[in-house]
């Protein structure tokens, strides 16, 4: 198999041998757009029948749609840690939503790309380091940052302040009654992120860029007070205002359609700036749909055809919509069932930039899948997740097998997700050899974390 990088090098050598000088190939720009709690079934291109997402549906038509893409975790902070560091939740620093920062020695995709000559920017939700810690974006490879540092702060869409790099920026007209509940609402953070992203794309670039646009839609504002019952906060319900739905369902749909509108504007701006042809754009979600702030995942079949939602390690909590578009490189109207996960993004970005991935990654480059050069990743051994809230949970996928354990002493469940996408039929009794093999990974695929201990490790500590 020949990578695009090797092909370009061969082409340069041929030109030189022929006596013709040639310019070095230009590294492509990379934009990674991350939704927050968007379900597998929340987009039209994944079967949604009610919520309108024309721009994302068109995006899927213009590129590659994945059916078996997985988030880093089933909640935001560890999922984003896996995305940024290329390490799954058995190895990465942040394995839950506790306020644990990335360490100075953690190597992020932003640092890798910066070393390859890229300018780097994060707009939106971070969640991997509080102020003045080693985990803040500007100390983890990002040249520019605008947004929320703390994931709980990100639960209010009308915050009194956001961060620009390491400076706290007050937002006039937003006044919080109590933590994460605004009583005066003027500046909607999602709209500010879109404006920042559009302005970022309109600058003159003298080198390739990596833009990580981490939206907070459609996460609930569910942390305090009245927002618990009506927490899908959006400036207006738009085309859904006259429906007879409960308000949280109106808000859920309006959030997604608003994000779709702004994603469309982002893509238009990319074309207007002449950046479209040399830019890889990836769109996905940090975990499955949620049941918070009055939202009902069954109302829109937001997880269908998967089982479960956020905080579960069934696929409804971790399998996510994911599409990629790269004119001239990714063939339009294509689909892939190759399983991959967030920790694959770092080695993929490294190969795209023309450099080697660090040896610390758990991931594999999916560039051959993007380019259509391959329809499998033969080096893939397994995918692993662990989750430390509401009882220690683990899951592993190898080929078409998926093993889930929802608690240290809980019975394991085995599914053939190629035949049973909804994980309804536990076939562990029929395949004891498969169970034995995969269950060993519950121990061998992870290392001990000082901040996220298993129940057995806690007992031993005492």
Mean pLDDT of 436-449: 97
The contacts of residue 224 (CB under 8 Å, 6+ apart) are 178, 179, 180, 181
Task: State the span(s) of the chain assigned CATH 3.30.1120.10.
Answer: 390-461
| Pairing verdict, β 119-125 and 209-214 | parallel
Phi, psi of 329 (to 5 degrees): -120, -45
Mean pLDDT of 370-381: 96
In the prediction, which pLDDT does 224 show?
Answer: 52
Torsion sign (Cα): 192, 197, 202, 205: positive
pLDDT greater than 90 at residue 9: no
pLDDT greater than 50 at residue 141: yes
Cα separation of 308 and 385, whole Å?
A: 15
In the prediction, which pLDDT does 25 show?
Answer: 60
Mean pLDDT of 14-30: 57
Rounded to 5°, the CA angle 195-116-375 comes to 85
pLDDT greater than 90 at residue 181: no
**230 confidence band (pLDDT: 50, 70, 90):** confident
Q: Which fold has domain 390-461?
A: Arylsulfatase, C-terminal domain (3.30.1120)
- 247-299: pLDDT as tens digits: 999 999 999 999 999 999 999 999 999 999 999 999 999 999 999 999 999 99
Mean pLDDT of 222-242: 82
Range in 6-15, 57-66, 360-369 the model is least confident about: 6-15
pLDDT greater than 80 at residue 21: no
In the prediction, which pLDDT does 6 show?
Answer: 41
The count of other CB atoms within 10 Å of the CB of residue 366 is: 23
| Pairing verdict, β 209-214 and 29-35 | parallel
pLDDT greater than 60 at residue 20: no
Cβ proximity of 127 and 155 under 8 Å: no
Mean pLDDT of 94-102: 96
The upper half-sphere exposure of residue 145, i.e. CA atoms within 13 Å in the direction of its Cβ, equals 24
- The chain-wide mean pLDDT, for the chain, equals 93
The beta-strand segments (E) located in 24-166 are 29-35, 64-66, 69-70, 119-125, 144-148, 161-164
Task: State the span(s) of the chain assigned CATH 3.40.720.10.
Answer: 29-371
Q: 3-class DSSP state for residue 109?
A: helix
Q: What percent of the chain has pLDDT over 70?
A: 93
Cβ proximity of 386 and 90 under 8 Å: yes
CATH number of the 29-371 domain: 3.40.720.10
pLDDT greater than 80 at residue 100: yes
pLDDT greater than 60 at residue 398: yes
Closest CA to 161 of 127, 191, 189: 189
Closest CA to 213 of 134, 160, 286, 289: 286
């Amino acid at each position: 198999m020949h990578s695009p990088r090797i092909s370009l090098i061969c082409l340069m050598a041929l030109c030189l041998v022929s006596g013709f000088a040639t310019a070095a190939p230009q590294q492509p720009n990379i934009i990674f757009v991350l939704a927050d709690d968007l379900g597998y079934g929340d987009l039209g291109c994944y079967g949604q029948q009610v919520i309108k997402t024309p721009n994302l549906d068109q995006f899927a038509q213009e590129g590659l749609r994945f059916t078996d893409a997985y988030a880093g975790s089933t909640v935001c902070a560890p999922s984003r840690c896996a995305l940024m560091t290329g390490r799954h939740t058995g190895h990465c620093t942040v394995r839950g939503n506790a306020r644990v920062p990335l360490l100075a020695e953690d190597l992020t995709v932003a640092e890798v790309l910066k070393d390859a000559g890229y300018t780097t920017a994060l707009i939106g939700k971070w969640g991997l380091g509080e102020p003045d810690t080693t985990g803040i974006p500007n100390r983890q490879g990002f040249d520019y940052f605008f947004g929320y540092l703390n994931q709980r702060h990100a639960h209010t869409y009308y915050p009194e302040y956001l961060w620009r790099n390491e400076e706290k920026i007050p937002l006039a007209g937003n006044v919080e009654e109590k933590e994460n509940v605004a009583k005066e609402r003027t500046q909607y953070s999602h709209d500010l992120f879109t404006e920042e992203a559009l302005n970022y794309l309109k600058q003159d670039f003298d080198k390739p860029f990596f833009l990580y646009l981490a939206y907070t839609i459609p996460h609930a504002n569910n942390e305090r007070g009245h927002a618990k019952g009506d927490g899908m906060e959006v400036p207006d319900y738009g085309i859904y205002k006259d429906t007879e739905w409960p308000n949280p369902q109106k808000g859920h749909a309006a959030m997604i359609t608003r994000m779709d509108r702004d994603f469309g504007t982002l893509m238009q701006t990319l074309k207007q700036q002449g950046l479209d042809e040399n830019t890889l754009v990836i769109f996905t979600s940090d975990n499955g749909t949620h049941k918070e702030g009055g939202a009902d995942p069954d109302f829109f079949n937001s997880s269908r055809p998967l089982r479960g939602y956020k905080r579960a390690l069934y696929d409804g909590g971790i399998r996510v919509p994911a599409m990629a578009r790269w004119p001239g490189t990714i063939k339009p109207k294509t689909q892939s069932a190759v399983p991959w996960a967030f920790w694959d993004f770092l080695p993929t970005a490294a190969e795209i930039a023309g450099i080697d991935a660090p040896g610390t990654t758990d991931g594999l480059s999916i560039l051959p899948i993007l380019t259509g050069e391959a329809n499998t990743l033969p080096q893939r051994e397994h995918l692993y997740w662990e989750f430390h809230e509401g009882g220690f949970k683990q899951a592993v996928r190898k080929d078409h097998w998926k093993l889930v354990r929802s608690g240290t002493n809980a019975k394991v469940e085995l599914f053939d997700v190629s035949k049973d996408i909804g994980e309804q039929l536990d076939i562990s009794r029929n395949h004891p050899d498969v169970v034995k093999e995969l269950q060993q990974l519950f121990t061998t695929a992870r290392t001990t974390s000082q901040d996220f201990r298993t129940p057995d490790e806690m007992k031993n500590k005492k």
